[in-house]
Structure 1
Amino acid sequence: MSGKGVVVVGSANVDLVLPVQRIPRPGETVLASGLSRGPGGKGANQAVAASRAGATTRFVVSLGDDEPGELLRAVLSDASVDLSLASTTTTPTGTAIITVDADGENAITVAPAANADLRLNHDTRAAIRAADVVLAQLEIPFDTVREAARESRYFVLNAAPAAALDDDLLADVDLLVVNEHEASVVAGTSDNPGEVLLKRVPAVVITLGGEGALVLTRDAEPLKVAAVKVEVVDTTAAGDTFCGVLAATLATGSELPEAVRRATVAASLSVQAAGAIPSVPTADDIAARYAEVYP
């Protein structure tokens, strides 16, 4: 590894979080017991997770020239995320509405706004080419994701929100990270989606929520990594914590199974606290829990 760490290419939002007894069904209105506002977005969450896990992390992001954008810049900088590659637009900063039920499960609606303006330039392309690991999601334009994949030496795609992906993009993906629903959408089938995906990308990690994660590669037998059993408070940033810590661990030269184990431990810590970025654990927290789980 070159020591250039992780570059995250992705979204940043201000999250409006509504705690509810249960997530409303279509056509139904429920009352929230409160309202909180804080930083989030899949890209921002993952960048903070990678940075707190110990990786030098640069964030390619588009933020509005507004108060929410300033909030996100302050929080990301405080988490030691390098924002020298961030761009500013007159479009408002992205916003997410998150309902969280009594069991910690969530439903999220995102207005991309400034995230839809994200494009690569000379500086961002150079940083991507130099990075050990590049991590992206699908809350930004597909063309930007596709270009980042082409420029990367090792490209990790978290295909969320779920979408059908063309072979032109997947040809440049080294590792695909999806949950069970996303796996079926990307594969185009719910019948052994992992096997179908392995024909299109060399490695797949399917996260299984409270059941852990499944690691699939073309040159090894499937590996099931068990979840760490904890009391769940809020799952909002669990998947993003997983992805960010996974990328950070891979950037150190660790093998994929080790990186998935560390990411699973980190995700178990994140679900024990409320909020997105506030719930992301530090490297010391991860190391302490990892030592307990894998003595």
Structure 2
Amino acid sequence: MSNQLPAVTVVGSINLDIIATTDRLPTAGETLGGGVLQQQPGGKGANQAVAAARLGGSARMIGAVGDDAQGHLMVQSLSGAGVNTADVAVLDGDATGTALIVVDRDGENQIVVCPGANSGFSLDGVEFSAEETVLCQLEVGLPVVLEAARRSTGFFVLNAAPAMDLPAELLERCDLVIVNESEYQLIPALADAKLVAVTYGKDGSALLERGRRVAEAPALSVPVANTVGAGDAFCAALVLAIRAGHDYATALAVANAVGADAVGDPSSQPALAPLEEYIARATEAAVACQ
């Protein structure tokens, strides 16, 4: 087991999140008053890169923003969190991706994503090393994800969200797929995948090899402020813990603890402790249960 966290390269989306917080989510055709508006950095790719950096990993972001004020702010935010942004493209003529999010008092949300520059970038000129763990999601074009899978020679991870049918070539290349319970049901081919992590909300998480459960960990009960960035923090933590050599049950417990911290933070890119602290917590909890 390595004491040094692995290098993680995230290929994915970079968005400006515009968040309205209300007492409850609106129904179809309904207008709600009394909301509180926030704007903050987001996008599943950027969220995962920032989480990896804040957990102590070496994080690189590959993605795109528009040549606008929002895009420059997103790049500055990534850099400020410790993410290498040398391969973030600034596309003239494209708007920076934007997510419109409504969050209720229980942390549940509704999201509409306007991809903008996220759908317009390529991997031309981007190189991957065998030592890098490459982490992708599906908020960017599937051709970009496929190209990343083909070019990457190291450990390749796909957070298959939002759920869609996946080419057999992509699934066969994945060393790890991460989904929530709903996404797992929507992608039947995952039952035959090499290794799949599934999150079950309050029921914790599990790892499945070719559809067979090989490890699980309970969720932590915490007050919920915002669930938007929790899954992304979970992804980053799980990848770092597995690649650092921890067994599957420990890695899941660590990722659950990170996700629990994330839901207690109203930001899509929450403040996190170093991964070692979550590993210590998971180890102490396991000893206490013996």
Instruction: Give TM-score, length-normalised by structure 2.
Output: 0.90
Quick one: distance in 2 between partners of 1:228 and 1:12?
A: 29
Change (3 A) 1:267 1:34: same
Residues 90-169 of structure 1: pairs in structure 2 closer than 5 A: 90=92, 91-122=94-125, 124=126, 126-127=127-128, 129-152=129-152, 153-169=154-170
Change (3 A) 1:181 1:4: closer
Change (3 A) 1:69 1:285: farther
Q: Once the 2 structures are TM-superposed, how far is the Cα of residue 210 of structure 1 from its aligned partner?
A: 1.7
Secondary structure of the residue aligned to 1:241 is helix
Say whether the 8 Å CA contact 2:156–2:176 is kept in structure 1.
Answer: yes
Unaligned runs of 5+ in 2: none
Q: Once the 2 structures are TM-superposed, how far is the Cα of residue 231 of structure 1 from its aligned partner?
A: 1.1
Q: Which amino acid in the other structure matches residue 91 of structure 2?
A: T
Q: Bigger shift: 217-226 or 157-166?
A: 217-226
Matching residue of 2:244: 252
Q: How many correspondences in the alignment?
A: 282
Matching residue of 1:237: 229
Say whether the 8 Å CA contact 1:51–1:248 is kept in structure 2.
Answer: no
Matching residue of 1:282: 273
Q: Once the 2 structures are TM-superposed, how far is the Cα of residue 236 of structure 1 from its aligned partner?
A: 1.1
Matching residue of 1:208: 200
Q: Once the 2 structures are TM-superposed, how far is the Cα of residue 50 of structure 1 from its aligned partner?
A: 0.8
RMSD across aligned positions (CA): 2.1
Matching residue of 2:41: 39
Q: Give 2:25's match in structure 1, choosing from 5, 14, 23.
A: 23
Q: Which amino acid in the other structure matches residue 138 of structure 1?
A: L
Quick one: distance in 2 between partners of 1:289 and 1:97?
A: 35
Quick one: distance in 2 between partners of 1:34 and 1:166?
A: 41
Q: Which amino acid in the other structure matches residue 184 of structure 1?
A: Q
Q: Give 1:86's match in structure 2, choosing from 76, 79, 88.
A: 88
Q: Once the 2 structures are TM-superposed, how far is the Cα of residue 285 of structure 1 from its aligned partner?
A: 5.5
Percent identity among equivalent residues? 38
Quick one: distance in 1 between partners of 2:268 and 2:235?
A: 13
Q: Which amino acid in the other structure matches residue 179 of structure 1?
A: N
Quick one: distance in 1 between partners of 2:76 and 2:281?
A: 28
Q: Once the 2 structures are TM-superposed, how far is the Cα of residue 287 of structure 1 from its aligned partner?
A: 4.9
Q: Which amino acid in the other structure matches residue 107 of structure 2?
A: G
Change (3 A) 1:155 1:84: same
Secondary structure of the residue aligned to 1:230 is coil
Quick one: distance in 2 between partners of 1:31 and 1:173?
A: 45
Say whether the 8 Å CA contact 2:250–2:282 is kept in structure 1.
Answer: no
Say whether the 8 Å CA contact 1:211–1:226 is kept in structure 2.
Answer: yes
Matching residue of 2:191: 198
1:50-83 C-alpha deviation (Å, 9 max, x unpaired): 1111111111011111111111111111111011
Residues 34-73 of structure 1: pairs in structure 2 closer than 5 A: 34-73=36-75
